[in-house]
Homo-oligomer: A and B are copies of this chain.
Amino acid sequence: MTGDKAKRRRSGGHRGNRRGAGAAIDQPPWRIPVNTDRPIEPLDEDGIAAIHGAAMHILEEIGIEFLNADARAVMKRAGCTITGTNVRMGRDFVMEMVARAPSQFTITPRNPAREVTVGGKHLLFVNVSSPPNYWDLEVGKVPGTRTQCMDLLKLTQFFNCIHLSAGYPVEPVDVHPSIRHLDVVHDKLLITDKVVHAYSLGAERVEDVIEMVRIAGGLSHDEFEAKPHIYTNINSTSPLKHDDLMLDGFMRMVKRGQAVMVSPFTLAGAMAPVTMAGAVAQSIAEGLCVIAMAQFMRPGAPCIFGTFTSNVDMRSGAPAFGTPEYMRATQMTGQMMRFYGLPMRASGVCTANVPDAQAAWETCASLWSAVQSRTNVVVHAAGWLEGGLIASPEKFVMDCEVLQQIQRYFEPEITATDTGALALDAIAEVGSSGHFFGAEHTQARYQDAFYSPFLSDWSNYEAWDLKGAEWTVERAHRIYKDIVNSFEPPPMAPAIREELAAFVARRKAEGGAPTDF
């Protein structure tokens, strides 16, 4: 850090200028928001029963294709009806298995201080994962690279409102697929100390990533398997199908006592019915069947149901996100997950191609519907564009401003009604012709009374104009550069660092993972 930069950083303290060029921005402390709002519940009791009944009908009468032979063997042992690759199961079995799933559990990354609790009223935010492309103001839309991936990992680590570092924030297509998991998870474990996840893309990848996370945590195999330290997410191949590699990775994680998430991508009008109740029922059937398998394999296995029900644009057939139908589907799924007692995942998503106003209102719609549905884990909460085809650092920074405001929204002091909060003495003191700024009541509280933004510009038009008239995306670009350029990685013990590097070197020498998928 140059002296000039250091000076500016020192001047950028908690009450300093957080927005000047080159100034560092402050971070609210690491904490997990607790969603105290009563959920929005569009379904009545009959509606819940109807969707449950439809999901059970699908599992009993229509069945789900399990394209993995080991999974079918497990389901056969469980007493399900196997016909070729089709698996059908009774509602009693499903409900008995689902009842075994914990409603709340922890996942502990290499830094135990970053442990997260999944379930209950906890609200966790996860960075964008898996877009093949990258967009920023300088380069436009380009295929993702390892450098861009590392930059986005730095943002993931920097922002305390991002609680998990999930998949690759952008797919680095400049790294060969056989070793991509080794390089990127290595990067990730060095750059972040938050919970990571493994893609279920074949045995070698899952096992390599599990091993790297175990090494990074300094854990024995027994210690690692004693509780969740990592998770995977699988998507069904809607309609009504689970593919081979996904099921393989899912089962490996279950056997090792790690967390599993299943997120059916039920796009209403394409891979699911055009009606939201049908799309939600189908997603529940697709999700519950593998959660039931997990509970049969290992009672109490930590499972998360992921909703990814949205609708297509009926003019083009392309997916649309952050729509009114998406919001309602998320709320409906929230009701169903409380009915089943399962933690829930949703997403921070939009259809917009660039981080403009449309991106903001679509992302807000998805984030607020996550809040309204009492979602526990919000994946893609920062950085997603173009229906998941683009990861953007400016969008990442913008989303973090919104996420921080959601965190602030849940701080109970805002709605406190104790004597101090009612402020009757201050009201009497100021009377009808004074101003509260000078009141002792204000002076004692003003530093932390309100959310203080790092990206939003609250100056008036003329002051904003004088500073350069930067629109949100331009300010976000500058902030993203500042964060990346001044980034300092979290500590890692040298011995662990060496062991990790040696593992990666050995596995690369062995050729990494097969790429014939």
Give the contacts of A259-278 with B (CB-CB under 8 A): 268-278
Which one of A114-122, A210-218, A222-230, A311-319 is at the interface?
A311-319
**Beta-carbon contact of B423 and A316 below 8 Å:** no
Determine whether A3 belongs to the interface, using a CB cutoff of 8 Å to chain B.
Answer: no
Per the CB 8 Å criterion, the residue count for chain A at the interface is 126
**Beta-carbon contact of A311 and B436 below 8 Å:** no
**Beta-carbon contact of A357 and B472 below 8 Å:** yes
From the candidates B352, B398, B436, name the one contacting A271 in the complex (CB within 8 A): B436
A325 to B43, CA, bound (A): 29
**Beta-carbon contact of B275 and A416 below 8 Å:** yes
Which one of A105-113, A293-301, A426-434, A497-505 is at the interface?
A426-434
> Can you tell how many copies of this chain the complex includes?
2
Known A-B contacts A54-B422, A357-B473; A441 and B332 likewise in contact (beta carbons under 8 Å): no
**Beta-carbon contact of B318 and A273 below 8 Å:** no
Name the B residues within 8 Å of A352 (CB-CB): 456-457, 472
**Beta-carbon contact of A436 and B54 below 8 Å:** no
Name the B residues within 8 Å of A446 (CB-CB): 269, 274, 314
Q: How far is the CB of A89 from chain B (nearest CB, A)?
A: 15
Determine whether A351 belongs to the interface, using a CB cutoff of 8 Å to chain B.
Answer: yes
From the candidates B277, B314, B331, B414, name the one contacting A421 in the complex (CB within 8 A): B277
Determine whether A282 belongs to the interface, using a CB cutoff of 8 Å to chain B.
Answer: yes
**Beta-carbon contact of B50 and A272 below 8 Å:** no
From the candidates B133, B311, B421, B472, name the one contacting A450 in the complex (CB within 8 A): B311
Q: How far is the CB of A426 from chain B (nearest CB, A)?
A: 5
A452 to B315, CA, bound (A): 9
A472 to B241, CA, bound (A): 38
Determine whether A128 belongs to the interface, using a CB cutoff of 8 Å to chain B.
Answer: no
Q: How far is the CB of A404 from chain B (nearest CB, A)?
A: 9
**Beta-carbon contact of A436 and B390 below 8 Å:** no
**Beta-carbon contact of A451 and B361 below 8 Å:** no
Name the B residues within 8 Å of A37 (CB-CB): 40, 42
Most buried by B among A241, A325, A433: A325
From the candidates B402, B414, B417, B472, name the one contacting A325 in the complex (CB within 8 A): B414
Which one of A170-178, A184-192, A201-209, A458-466 is at the interface?
A458-466
Determine whether A151 belongs to the interface, using a CB cutoff of 8 Å to chain B.
Answer: no
**Beta-carbon contact of A456 and B351 below 8 Å:** yes
From the candidates B240, B281, B323, B364, name the one contacting A432 in the complex (CB within 8 A): B240
Determine whether A334 belongs to the interface, using a CB cutoff of 8 Å to chain B.
Answer: no
Q: How far is the CB of A220 from chain B (nearest CB, A)?
A: 42
**Beta-carbon contact of B437 and A269 below 8 Å:** yes
Name the B residues within 8 Å of A304 (CB-CB): none
A38 to B317, CA, bound (A): 33
**Beta-carbon contact of B328 and A273 below 8 Å:** no
Determine whether A353 belongs to the interface, using a CB cutoff of 8 Å to chain B.
Answer: yes
From the candidates B276, B469, B473, name the one contacting A414 in the complex (CB within 8 A): B276
Chain A, 437-480, contact with B by CB distance < 8 Å: what is the 0/1 string? 10101100111011110011111110011000101110000000
Determine whether A47 belongs to the interface, using a CB cutoff of 8 Å to chain B.
Answer: yes
Known A-B contacts A274-B446, A325-B451; A427 and B239 likewise in contact (beta carbons under 8 Å): yes
Name the B residues within 8 Å of A495 (CB-CB): none
From the candidates B364, B398, B456, name the one contacting A364 in the complex (CB within 8 A): B364
A411 to B327, CA, bound (A): 12
Most buried by B among A353, A362, A465: A353
Known A-B contacts A41-B38, A315-B452, A451-B324; A358 and B277 likewise in contact (beta carbons under 8 Å): no
In the complex, 29 of the A-B residue pairs with CB atoms within 8 angstroms, ordered by the A residue number, are A42-B414, A43-B415, A47-B417, A50-B418, A51-B422, A54-B424, A64-B432, A133-B461, A141-B461, A273-B442, A274-B423, A275-B423, A276-B421, A277-B423, A278-B427, A311-B449, A312-B450, A315-B458, A324-B405, A324-B451, A353-B461, A353-B464, A356-B473, A357-B357, A357-B471, A358-B360, A360-B364, A361-B361, A364-B364
